[in-house]
Structure 1
């Protein structure tokens, strides 16, 4: 059995069995050295999706936003499964404008082609977070960590081990999947490397900034990261300020579990959870949960999506006038073709359908300015 498949199976066992070392991460000279090494890897391995290679490299490489003066603190942001540093294009700028030094990472297996995730391991992802969080701590007086989806699991794990982390920013945190079968992925990757066949002529493999198809092993490592996150939450409450953004109609997550975990485990009085959807029953007893409606027909939004919380409507790729409309959204092929042709669309999360409406993925957040102010307020709640 190939080594990576054996390791994937072993990682369905208790976490102690997963403490292997990859030995393939090279030392870096600060963040600039890490970014340069990653850029060189991207240049030689990426399957480019457009003629603008320089733009694609910039979108997928680790990024840094510097404030106008001396940084008040630093923020390290970690993307999710199949995504890229572009996930934080808007949040990075927002934080830098408020005096924070902001950096992103590119997790191994990402940014090049989906096939490069066939042998990636959770430990490789954890190692990048460890390296760059430690580097940022050397450059600023205090550090916050932020993560989207799988990235939220990774930064939560690190924060539990490091009491000096000032707080967490968690966007659609993937503490538990909504799928009843994701736990099987560490066991079946050797027999079925892809859950959805690659290059089938129907599902696009990737866009300039993300993968649309991920190998089984990628889902397996995501699952393992969620196991780690849940074990951390059981250990003890997390007492630092935490900001969470979450949508009720998330096609990826068990959102009720995330809401309950916030209320029970993130105990700082300044913590806040932004919930997009109908008012959950538990909010009356938990004023730290802020609710906003996610059905906005005047903007042709049927419901919010897993990924859309991160982006401003002004985002040049993902805003309503952006260049990267995601039409692969779980609808009929005829509706997808109409979306690709540029017809007017509604927006939703993956898999939502409504008679007479063509839905693209919602890739922007109409509440972004308000959400940013809530996030900044949590960071001030020391």
Structure 2
């Protein structure tokens, strides 16, 4: 049977949308009237305005509004002994400033002035991703880079996942940027059907629609949010293909990453990021001839760990939300018959990037980095070496 190009496209979109229809309704799935203002003349006004906006528009998931607000609001950390430089940190799609709760605390202890921004469409309700365009994310990163650059002698840009795309593109525009810190950079999605999301966004609202029970990030993904991420990946791939990036760059990647094409990001690092002082921390079992790539095995059966995930690299084993016995456990759909992952004792659960589909053990997504302290020491040594 021969399919026309049109039929293949419709078939692909149908695959992309499989499972997207849901009976889940509520205010989380109804967008705010507009996006918040984000181009304030100073960072303190931005923080204050953002917190007020969040109070008015966030759909709170618990009775503890202060904890939720602290997790998703932008913030600044000022060091007791400044080294003169600053770091701007940008979170990923569906995430929030909570992504940097451990990394930011470590960086400020090293003397960096650290600012963590909130991308428009985040922190309030999942439907607000229907309101964003790529230029909103690009503008907020550009604007707050300029504000921080006015306060310090040099700025580093850090990005997690989609945030890595945004800061890398900005770094290509501004040679004065000191360098890049990239955590699970989403240069290319793992699922090739993501390329259809811009078209699909004209026909359907949700890529996935789930119960919202994680106060640090969205569980659901609006199709426009998926499309906007994909456009950021297209933009950064264009930049990366244009010429080499020679400023110092520090990268962390999981070999088993379930969200992004880790091999593409690794190869891009070796071929495009040319500074000899660069470092890539690779969480998996493969080893590579590039001496700048350092491998950390995630085959850790004694710790009930199979692999690192997209989200696990940035969190400490002591993070109260995402540690082994933390407040939130991301259970896989498939579990051994009669076993409840959500209520199982932490020492009974195995952690990995994804489930096998036919589970022999209780399985959950890996959400912390067992090498976190060592990795932060490596990051700090990298920054100190390239500070001047």
For residue 358 of structure 1, the aligned residue among 362, 366, 379 is 362
**3-state DSSP class of the match of 1:165?**
coil
Deviation of 1:71 (Å): 4.0
Specify which of 327, 330, 334 is matched with residue 331 of structure 1.
334
State the Cα distance separating 1:381 from its structure 2 match.
3.4
Q: Which of 215, 230, 247 is the equivalent residue of 1:240?
A: 247
CA contact (8 A) 1:330 1:352 kept: no
1:292-371 aligned at under 5 Å gives the runs 292-327=296-331, 329-332=332-335, 338-343=340-345, 344-353=348-357, 355-371=359-375
Structure 1 vs Structure 2 CA RMSD? 1.8
Query: Contact between 1:166 and 1:241, CA under 8 Å: does it hold in 2?
Result: yes
The answer to whether the 8 A contact 1:71-1:140 is kept is: no
Task: Determine the structure 2 residue equivalent to 1:18.
Answer: none
Distance 1:29 1:278, change over 3 A: same
Distance in 2 separating the partners of 1:371 and 1:211 = 27
Q: Which residue of 2 aligns with 1:223?
A: 230
Task: Give me the TM-score of the superposition, normalised by structure 1.
Answer: 0.88
State the secondary structure of the residue aligned to 1:273: strand
Which residue number in structure 1 is paired with residue 103 of structure 2? 91
Alignment of 1:59-98 (within 5 A): 59-98=71-110
Q: 2 CA distance for matches of 1:319 and 1:24?
A: 32
1:49 corresponds to which residue? 61
Q: When the two structures are superposed, what TM-score results if normalisation uses the length of structure 2?
A: 0.87
Give 1:149's match in structure 2, choosing from 161, 166, 174.
161
2:15 alignment counterpart: none
Aligned to 2:269: 262
Cα gap change, 1:346 to 1:354, in 2 (>3 Å): farther
**Structure 1 match to 2:291:** 287
Q: 2:48: which partner in 1?
A: 36
2:137 equivalent in structure 1: 125
When residues 79 and 347 of structure 1 are mapped into structure 2, their CA distance, relative to the original with a 3 A threshold, is same
- Displacement of 1:353: 4.5
Q: Report if aligned partners of 1:59, 1:84 keep a CA contact under 8 Å in 2.
A: yes
Structure 1 CA distance, aligned partners of 2:220 and 2:204? Answer: 14
Give the total of aligned pairs: 351
Between the aligned partners of 2:354 and 2:99, the Cα distance in structure 1 is 18
CA distance in structure 2 between the aligned counterparts of 1:26 and 1:120, rounded to whole angstroms: 13
- In structure 2, the partner of 1:208 is 215
Residue 23 of structure 1: how far off its partner (Å): 9.8
Q: How has the CA–CA distance of structure 1 residues 349 and 107 changed in structure 2, closer, same or farther, with 3 Å as cutoff?
A: same
CA distance in structure 2 between the partners assigned to 1:32 and 1:270 by the alignment: 35
SS in 1 for 2:263: helix
Question: What do residues 130-176 of structure 1 show as CA deviations (whole Å, max 9, x unaligned)?
Answer: 11111110111100000000000000010000011101000000000
Q: CA deviation at 1:339?
A: 1.4
1:79, CA displacement in angstroms? Answer: 0.3
| 8 A contact 2:207–2:226 mirrored in 1 | no
Range moving further from structure 2, 123-132 or 351-360: 351-360
Counterpart secondary structure, 2:216? coil
1:330–1:71: structure 2 CA closer, same or farther, 3 Å change rule?
farther
Contact 2:335 2:360 in 1 (8 A): no
1:342 positional shift: 3.4
Q: Which runs of 5+ in 1 are unaligned?
A: 1-21
Q: Distance in 1 between matches of 2:143 and 2:336?
A: 44
Question: Does structure 2 conserve the Cα–Cα contact (< 8 Å) formed by 1:82 and 1:214?
Answer: yes
Q: Name the SS of the counterpart of 1:376 in structure 2.
A: helix
Residues 23, 358 of structure 1: alpha-carbon distance in 2 compared, 3 angstrom cutoff: closer
Contact 2:213–2:219 (CA under 8 A) maintained in structure 1 = yes
Answer yes or no: is the 8 Å Cα contact 2:35–2:132 preserved in 1. no
Runs of 5+ unmatched residues, structure 2: 1-33
Whole-Å separation in 2 of the counterparts to 1:316 and 1:72? 31
Return the alpha-carbon distance in structure 1 between the equivalents of residues 64 and 175 of structure 2.
43
Relative to structure 1, the CA distance from residue 59 to residue 23 in structure 2 (aligned partners, 3 Å threshold; closer, same or farther) is: closer
Residue 307 of structure 2 aligns to a residue in which SS? coil
